[in-house]
Structure 1
Amino acid sequence: MDPHAVTEIGAGDIQSQELFCDYVPQVFRRADFRRWRAWGEWNDDYRAFGLMESGRVVANASVMRMRLLLEGREVTAHQLGAVGCLPSHRGRGLARVVMNAALEACGDAPVLLFANPKVRQFYPRFGFQPQLQTLFAATHDAVPEGPPAPTLNLEDAAVRAGLATLSSEGLSSTERFGARSYATVASWPVANGFARPLRQLGSEAWVFAGVEGGTLYLDDVFAREPFDLRAWIPRLIDQPIRSIRFGFTPERYWPEAVTAGEDLEADLFVRNFRPSPEAHRFPVMAHT
Structure 2
Amino acid sequence: MGIQPRVTEAGPRDVALHASFCDYVSHVFTRADFRRWTAWGEWDDGYRAFMVVEGGRVVANASVTRMRLLLDGREVSGFQLGAVGCLPSGRGRGLARTVMDAALAYCGEAPVLLFANPSVRAFYPRFGFQARGQTLFAASHVAKPAGPAAPLLDVSLAEVRAGLARLADAGVPVTERFGARGHSRIASWYAANGFARPLRQLRDDAWVFAEVEGETLYVDDIFAREPFDLSAELPRLIDRPITSIQFGFTPERWWPGAEPVGEEADADLFVRGGGWPEGFERFPVMART
Structure 2 residues without counterparts, runs of 5 or longer: none
Alpha-carbon offset, residue 276 of structure 1: 1.5
Distance 1:56 1:234 in 2: 50
Any idea what the Cα deviations from partners look like across 1:125-166, whole Å, max 9, x if unmatched? 000000111000000001111111011011111110000000
The letter for the 2-side match of 1:280 is E
SS at match of 2:203: coil
The letter for the 2-side match of 1:65 is R
- TM-score of the pair, normalised by structure 2: 0.98
Q: Which residue of 2 aligns with 1:277?
A: 278
Q: Which residue of 2 aligns with 1:151?
A: 152
Q: Which residue of 2 aligns with 1:207?
A: 208
Alpha-carbon offset, residue 3 of structure 1: 5.5
SS at match of 2:22: helix
Percent of aligned positions that are identical? 67
- TM-score of the pair, normalised by structure 1: 0.98
Asked if 2 retains the 8 angstrom alpha-carbon contact of 1:218 and 1:244, the reply is: yes
The letter for the 1-side match of 2:198 is P
Distance 2:192 2:4 in 1: 34
The letter for the 2-side match of 1:152 is L
Q: Which residue of 1 aligns with 2:67?
A: 66
Superposed, 1:12-161 pairs within 5 Å as: 12-161=13-162
Asked if 2 retains the 8 angstrom alpha-carbon contact of 1:3 and 1:53, the reply is: no
Alpha-carbon offset, residue 267 of structure 1: 0.2
The letter for the 2-side match of 1:241 is I
Higher alpha-carbon deviation: 273-282 or 127-136: 273-282
Distance 1:82 1:164 in 2: 23
Distance 1:7 1:285 in 2: 28
Any idea what the Cα deviations from partners look like across 1:66-125, whole Å, max 9, x if unmatched? 100011110110000000000122122110000000000000001000001110000000
Any idea what the Cα deviations from partners look like across 1:208-234, whole Å, max 9, x if unmatched? 000101100000111101101111111
Give the length in aligned residue pairs: 287
Q: Which residue of 2 aligns with 1:230?
A: 231
Q: Which residue of 2 aligns with 1:163?
A: 164
Distance 2:73 2:93 in 1: 42
Structure 1 residues without counterparts, runs of 5 or longer: none
Asked if 2 retains the 8 angstrom alpha-carbon contact of 1:131 and 1:268, the reply is: yes
Alpha-carbon offset, residue 236 of structure 1: 0.5
Distance 1:275 1:117 in 2: 21
Alpha-carbon offset, residue 243 of structure 1: 0.3
Distance 1:26 1:200 in 2: 35
The letter for the 1-side match of 2:165 is A
Any idea what the Cα deviations from partners look like across 1:228-283, whole Å, max 9, x if unmatched? 11111111011110000000000001001010100111000000124211311000
Distance 2:58 2:4 in 1: 12
Asked if 2 retains the 8 angstrom alpha-carbon contact of 1:77 and 1:111, the reply is: yes
Distance 1:39 1:54 in 2: 27
The letter for the 2-side match of 1:68 is L
SS at match of 2:276: coil
SS at match of 2:43: coil
